[in-house]
């Protein structure tokens, strides 16, 4: 198959996204999406909502079994506890480092731009912050008292912990546990096939998700908050295109241009779902099959990153802090800003990659430095759009760190990384059932039954 044809999924997904923006804008600007109207009730909050939600559910459905199987394979693939510790500590250090740089950049850019100065501090919007979990609980809860309940609730850190321990125990049992490893490998392969099936309907789902979000956006609000929105998007872009790419080049020598091309699919999924967690299957597929990162590294770094690494979210917090401090005329001083950096980095560990969590973390940061929590009400209206953009930056950070750690461990296939067609697939191919393989399986089962 020609590589041009193979690229069709990315192209289709991008088309779905652009069409979604166009239709959403049309519904919004023409007033067709007014509350209670036919379009609002049956199309935007009816069909678009249902299609989008079903797709996000389908992605989330894959996360737990995929992470579980691939981590067991990963640990058995590394085959040595020391190497596992190295992958763990390197990725943790890099995740924290990039998050700290992200927020420092954001604070600097926002402070230089002077956003929010002289703005009216009264706001109609109300925001009462939800509680973020206390940090000590975050650490305690890494160890699940009941792994099944952790899986049922999609709690990533306890699942990671349990799967790693299962992998290590399998290694310790040795040869006798061979069939368990094979089972995990097959499970992983089956789940990856499922990722392909679900990705093949992505163009339509992405259209529905984006059209719904754009149709419901408060466009006037966007204009009112132009300063905040502009500085935030600017800081996110600086981090994605400059900081992360320098980090990638310096620590791994890999080409940033190729990285930016290959990460696009994962970014679009993150943008449409506003959830790093729901994007895990796509990120995992992208880094392993498109970028050549070995599953032994990616199976750990990707779900770990989706949980603890949130560069985009940290940037939002930096910009929002400066903005609200200026609006309320509060001078935080150097200590205040250093506290913000520390708090954001810590808060990112304790909160999962799901839509809107950034605001919960922000209220935690505000409480710490004494900024009025209700100030968050000012930026609430544009947060959904900002969430979509920052989530795309979050997953890009996860993929950068995965590539760096894999390269350092000799677990990155540079030929795959440099091959533009690696891991691309045609949507028809994704749902294609090989008749020969099917017949072979049926025959094997018949033989087994005959025995
Ligand atoms: N939605 C973001 C994520 O999933 C988190 C946030 O900033 O709210 O990574």
Please tell me the distance between residue 302's alpha carbon and the centre of ligand 1 in angstroms.
15
Please tell me the distance between residue 241's alpha carbon and the centre of ligand 1 in angstroms.
19
The set of residues, in sequence order, having a beta carbon less than 8 Å from that of 250 and lying 6+ positions away, is none
Please tell me the distance between residue 316's alpha carbon and the centre of ligand 1 in angstroms.
10
- pLDDT confidence of residue 4: 45
pLDDT, average across residues 414-443: 82
- Half-sphere exposure (Cβ direction) of 443: Cα atoms closer than 13 Å: 6
Locate the ligand 1 atom nearest the alpha carbon of residue 306 and give its number: 9
Model pLDDT for residues 349-405, shown as the tens digit of each residue: 767 788 888 888 888 888 888 898 888 888 988 898 899 999 999 999 999 999 999
What is each CA distance from 142 to 88, 309, 346, 416, in whole angstroms?
14, 16, 15, 34
397 lines ligand 1 (CB under 6 A): no
306 lines ligand 1 (CB under 6 A): no
pLDDT interval class at 132 (50, 70, 90): low
Locate the ligand 1 atom nearest the alpha carbon of residue 353 and give its number: 4
Helices within 241-356 (DSSP H only): 244-252, 256-262, 264-273, 276-285, 295-308, 311-327, 333-350
Please state the pTM of the whole predicted model. 0.87
Model pLDDT for residues 324-351, shown as the tens digit of each residue: 999 988 888 888 899 899 988 887 776 7
Model pLDDT for residues 56-93, shown as the tens digit of each residue: 999 999 999 999 999 999 899 887 888 889 999 999 99
Please state the length of the chain. 451
- pLDDT confidence of residue 241: 98
Residue 138 has pLDDT above 80, yes or no: no
Model pLDDT for residues 216-241, shown as the tens digit of each residue: 887 777 788 889 999 999 999 999 99
- Count the Cβ atoms, other than its own, within 10 Å of residue 47: 13
Q: CA 218, CA 378: separation in Å to the nearest integer?
A: 13
Locate the ligand 1 atom nearest the alpha carbon of residue 360 and give its number: 8
The two structure tokens encoding residue 21: 């923006």
User: Nearest CA to 297 among 159, 398, 397?
Assistant: 398
263 lines ligand 1 (CB under 6 A): no
Residue 412: strand pairing partners: 293
274 lines ligand 1 (CB under 6 A): yes
- pLDDT confidence of residue 109: 95
Residue 3 has pLDDT above 60, yes or no: no
- pLDDT confidence of residue 61: 94
Please tell me the distance between residue 102's alpha carbon and the centre of ligand 1 in angstroms.
15
Locate the ligand 1 atom nearest the alpha carbon of residue 277 and give its number: 4
Locate the ligand 1 atom nearest the alpha carbon of residue 275 and give its number: 4
CATH of 3-450, one of 1.10.3720.10, 3.40.50.300, 1.10.3860.10, 3.40.50.170: 1.10.3860.10
- pLDDT confidence of residue 129: 55
pLDDT, average across residues 435-444: 83
Q: Tell which one of 357, 362, 395, 398 to mutate to probe ligand 1, the residue whose CB is within 8 A of the most ligand atoms.
A: 357
């Amino acid at each position: 198959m020609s590589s041009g044809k193979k690229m069709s999924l990315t192209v289709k997904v991008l088309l779905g996204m652009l069409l979604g923006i166009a239709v959403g804008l049309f519904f919004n600007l023409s007033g067709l999406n007014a509350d209670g109207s036919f379009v609002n009730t049956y199309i935007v909050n009816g069909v678009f909502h249902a299609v989008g939600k079903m797709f996000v559910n389908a992605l989330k459905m894959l996360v737990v079994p995929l992470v579980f199987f691939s981590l067991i394979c990963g640990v058995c693939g590394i085959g040595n506890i020391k190497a596992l510790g190295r992958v763990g500590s390197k990725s943790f250090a890099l995740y924290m480092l990039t998050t700290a740089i992200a927020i420092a950049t954001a604070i600097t850019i926002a402070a230089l731009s002077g956003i929010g100065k002289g703005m009216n501090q009264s706001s109609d919007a109300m925001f009462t912050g939800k509680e973020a979990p206390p940090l000590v609980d975050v650490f305690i809860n890494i160890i699940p008292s009941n792994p099944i309940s952790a899986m049922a609730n999609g709690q990533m850190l306890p699942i990671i912990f349990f799967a790693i321990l299962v992998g290590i125990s399998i290694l310790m049992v040795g040869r006798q546990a061979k069939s368990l490893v094979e089972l995990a490998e097959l499970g992983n392969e089956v789940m990856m096939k499922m990722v392909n099936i679900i990705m093949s309907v992505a163009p339509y789902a992405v259209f529905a998700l984006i059209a719904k979000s754009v149709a419901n956006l408060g466009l006037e609000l966007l204009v009112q908050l132009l300063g905040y929105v502009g500085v935030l998007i600017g800081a996110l872009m600086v981090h994605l295109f400059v900081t992360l790419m320098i980090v990638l080049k310096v620590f791994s020598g890999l080409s940033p241009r190729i990285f930016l091309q290959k990460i696009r699919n994962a970014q679009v999924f993150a943008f449409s779902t506003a959830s790093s967690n729901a994007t895990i299957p796509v990120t995992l597929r992208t880094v392993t099959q498109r970028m050549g990162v070995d599953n032994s590294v990616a199976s750990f770094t990707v779900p770990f990153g989706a949980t603890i690494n949130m560069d985009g979210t940290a940037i939002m917090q930096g910009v929002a802090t400066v903005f609200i401090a200026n609006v309320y005329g509060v001078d935080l001083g150097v200590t205040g800003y250093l506290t913000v950096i520390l708090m954001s980095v810590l808060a990112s560990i304790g909160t999962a990659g799901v839509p809107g969590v950034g605001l919960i973390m922000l209220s935690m940061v505000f409480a710490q430095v004494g900024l009025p929590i209700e100030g968050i009400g000012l930026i609430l209206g544009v947060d959904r759009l900002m969430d979509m953009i920052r989530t795309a930056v979050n997953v890009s950070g996860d993929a950068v760190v995965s590539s760096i750690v894999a390269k350092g461990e000799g677990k990155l296939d540079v030929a795959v990384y440099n091959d533009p067609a690696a891991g691309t697939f045609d949507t028809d191919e994704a749902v294609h059932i090989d008749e020969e393989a099917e017949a072979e399986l049926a025959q094997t089962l018949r033989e087994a039954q005959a025995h």
